[in-house]
Amino acid sequence: MKNKKPYLKLVQSSISYALLVLLICLFHSTLSAQESLLQNKISIDITELSINDALDSIAAKNNCYFTYNSDLFTNKEKVNLKANDIEFKILLRKIVQDTSLKFQVVNRHVIIVPALYKKNKPVSSGIIPYISYQNISGKVTNHSAKISLPYASIGIRGKHVGTISNLDGEFALTLSSENSKDTLVVSYVGFKNFEIPVSEILNNQLEVKLKEDFISLQEVVIRNNDPKSILKAAINRIEVNYPQNAAYLTSFYRESVLKNNKYMIYLESVLDIYKNPYSENGLTDKVKIFKSRKIYDVSRLDTISFRLKGGIHGCLMLDIVKNKPDFLNPEFIDLYNFHLSDISTFNNRTVYIIEFQPKPNLQMPLLEGKLIIETRSLAIIGAEFGYDQDRLPELTNRFISKTNAKIKVKPTHIQYSVNYRNINGKYFLNHVLGNLTFKVRNKRKLFSQTFSTSFEMATTKLDTINVKRFKHRETIAPTTILSTKNLTYDDQFWGNQTFIKPEDNIKEAIKKQPFVVDEDQFYVSFKKGELKAVISKKTLNIKFYLAEKLLSHQINHYVKGTNNSKMTIGFDFELESHEKILGGGERVLGMDRRGHRMPLYNRAHYGYQTESNQMNFSLPAIMSSKKYAILFDNTASGFLAIGKTKSDILSFEAVGGRQSYIFFAGKTYPEIINNYVDVTGKQPLPPRWMFGNFASRFGYTSQQEVLDTVERYKQEDFPLDAIIIDLYWFGADIKGYMGNLDWDKKTFPKPLEMLSELNDKNIKSIL
């Protein structure tokens, strides 16, 4: 259906009032804990404290932790505040008065993040320089074959700004006006660098076509061509080639989970990382979440419960120079065979390509892959590695941190990559990627399903000046699985942040997501197209919007009685004074049904005059002049009271059945009706004879009377297409026979012969 506006189906069960088929229960299990944290009441007396120190004081009193970018509160006014028994969320807003900042709660961590990024505006010329931003996007391909080059390194020469291309070779990079005189460099193993002054990039679009860089062995002086010796020398030069002081990394992080090649979860974050010196191998790097967003396809989430190891922790552990795997550990290096497979170039420098494999007949599965080492500096600048597929079944427990006894999980593909970037002679972590695939089968089911997960992190900014360790309360554990946290997805979310451009299949998944889910401490919202439902966590009441315009407000839902007594269920909606309501089925009430209480069960009404509240069939659905419709998904007997009991309330009540309704909206009435019939199905196109001439009266008392009537039409040469035989065919005396639906054999002795004779004359029969 083209140009259709979506509809939302809302279900409120009689036991838990769960909405949207237990979505809230499944994905917002921390809801009550979060509410209680923000609703805690505390007393505080703060005098002349910075915002950072004030938050520290509050954290100690409320037994919580704050995570935020400390630069947000630089040069802000001191806090002076005295309050008794004030709600935590109100207190936070009094201290953090910038309404562009919002609070997200994860367990007992309160994360302070910008709600929306806006372009910096100039402030009094000559005092603070105006910094504008340039968002550059492009694609990296092979010049000769025109093949996309994934994971190419893109950055400003000699500066700490950069990104990488995605799997389709596409990239997006945000540069400030401070980079206007710099040079952008694109590098890829085996290709010559592409360089262009930032000032020459037109229309913020860049088509990068890299040329292959062929070298001969004669051009390279190889002092020692034994690959194991080269690798040992590279390990010995780690202290020279890698930073021995701590650094701040701003990194773009993303992770995804696919089920049968369809996206279930896709998450993106900007992380601030305190990177420990490479000489301090035992210390864990610290992480702060700067910003996050997420989509998930609720239609693909199921009850399979297992948790994959990876995430932020996996990305940090893939820094193989700091966290040496077996193939870089001098203690285990003899378990491998090494082979110098090629000599190539990267970033206009010559590099060794060294392949490694575990020696045969080892009891334990080991990694295999290739290393990239610069020939001159002997810096390890990259690696790709994984496990032999035949040995993967032995490794299940390494990659699954949570499962249950009812499912069987088997890894089928494990692959990692990592590379480093040279900044002023030191190599910093640039990009890491992990791809894992599993076959998962419920022991009660015949067929298995394929699950795959990917986690990726790219450094976009680096700072080595005045680096201080993050406070513990500001950080999250690297093992935190962000895909289980309550985040939403916003197309304009990153603003002036550099990010990895989503691949085409991810863009398509974002477009097709059934709902965009957003949540804060008070509300959960589900958005589909321009239609949005906002659910109050406290009352579970729901407001419906189209293009941010309020259409309707469900203010009450209820269950009365028990299974042992009369049970009723119902909903109440607010009505505006000017609002007109249509629908409810066949009634003689006029088009606007407001002011009436209409029964919801079918009954004929004979002899009505100017008004009838019930006639033939009822329909548990209404349409409003505000251009929305509600279909109550309940076939039980009940009623619709439209401004009858209370002038501003629409009430639905039934004697049982489902506590469920479907909400439709559109910009025109035909659009609403199209959406409605998209759910209910369309009325079949009537046959042509139904538009012809019918013979009808209060009833024909006998078979002979029917045939005589048809004959008279023929004699008068009057066309006849159908005859309505109702209602004496099941007895001349209606009383006691109505509803028996059986022929009266005295007056209609041969009904089948009669119907056959009428059909031969091309006359349809209607009983």
Tell whether the model's pLDDT for residue 252 goes beyond 90: no
The secondary structure of residue 466, as a DSSP letter, is S
Query: Scanning the structure block, which residue is given the tokens 């609703």?
Result: 39
pLDDT score of 485 more than 70? no
In tens, the pLDDT along 627-666 reads: 999 999 998 999 999 999 888 999 999 998 888 999 999 9
Instruction: Say which residue, 388 or 261, is predicted with more confidence.
Output: 388
Asked if the model's pLDDT at residue 702 lies above 80, the reply is yes
The candidate with the shortest Cα–Cα distance to 121, out of 113, 131, 106, is 131
Lowest mean pLDDT segment, chosen from 21-35, 209-223, 509-523: 21-35
Q: Evaluate if pTM is beyond 0.75.
A: no
DSSP string computed for 130-152: ---EEEEEEEEEETTT--B-TT-
Quick one: pLDDT at residue 572? 96
Residue 59 has pLDDT above 50, yes or no: yes
Class of domain 21-114: alpha beta
**Residue 36: both structure tokens together:** 């209680």
What value does the mean pLDDT take over residues 259-275?
A: 79
What's residue 377's pLDDT? 92
pLDDT digits (tens, 9 = 90+) for 139-163: 999 888 778 888 888 888 877 777 8
Domain ranges for the chain? 21-114, 133-214, 237-492, 527-680, 688-766
Please state the rounded mean pLDDT for residues 502-514. Answer: 54
Residue 754 in 3-state DSSP?
Answer: helix
752-764 burial, b at 16+ Cβ within 10 Å, e below that, comes to: eebbebbeeeebb
Q: Which residues of 468-485 are buried (b: 16+ CB within 10 A; e: fewer)?
A: eebbebbbbebebbbbbb
Q: What is the pLDDT of residue 446?
A: 66
pLDDT at 754 over 80: yes
E-strand spans in 493-539?
Answer: 516-519, 523-528, 531-536
The CATH architecture to which 133-214 belongs is Sandwich (2.60)
Q: How far apart are CA 382 and CA 460, in angstroms?
A: 17
Question: Could you tell me which residue, 582 or 396, shows the higher pLDDT?
Answer: 582
When pLDDT is averaged across residues 56-80 and rounded to a whole number, the result is 74
Alpha carbon distance 251, 498 (integer Å): 9
Residue 179 scores a pLDDT above 70: yes
Residue 350 scores a pLDDT above 90? no
pLDDT (tens digit per residue) in 544-577? 999 889 999 999 998 887 655 678 899 999 999 9
In this prediction, residue 555 carries a pLDDT of: 94
Average pLDDT of span 668-674 = 93
Q: Which residues pair with 161 in a beta bridge?
A: 461
pLDDT of 458 reads: 86
Residue type, 621: A
At 405, the pLDDT band (50, 70, 90 cuts) reads: low
DSSP 753: H
CA distance 12 to 658: 8
**What distance, in Å, lies between the first and last C-alpha atoms of the chain?**
37
Assign a CATH topology to domain 527-680. Answer: Immunoglobulin-like (2.60.40)
The pLDDT assigned to 735 comes to 56
- At residue 326, the pLDDT reads 93
| 354-369: pLDDT as tens digits | 999 999 988 889 999 9
pLDDT at 75: 74
Residue 189 CA: distances (Å) to CA of 219, 228, 345: 17, 21, 6
Question: Are 21-114 and 527-680 the same fold in CATH?
Answer: no
Per-residue pLDDT at 746 exceeds 70: yes
Residue labelled with tokens 């554990």 = 477
Whole-number percent of the chain with pLDDT over 90: 29
Looking at per-residue pLDDT, the higher value among 755 and 250 belongs to 755
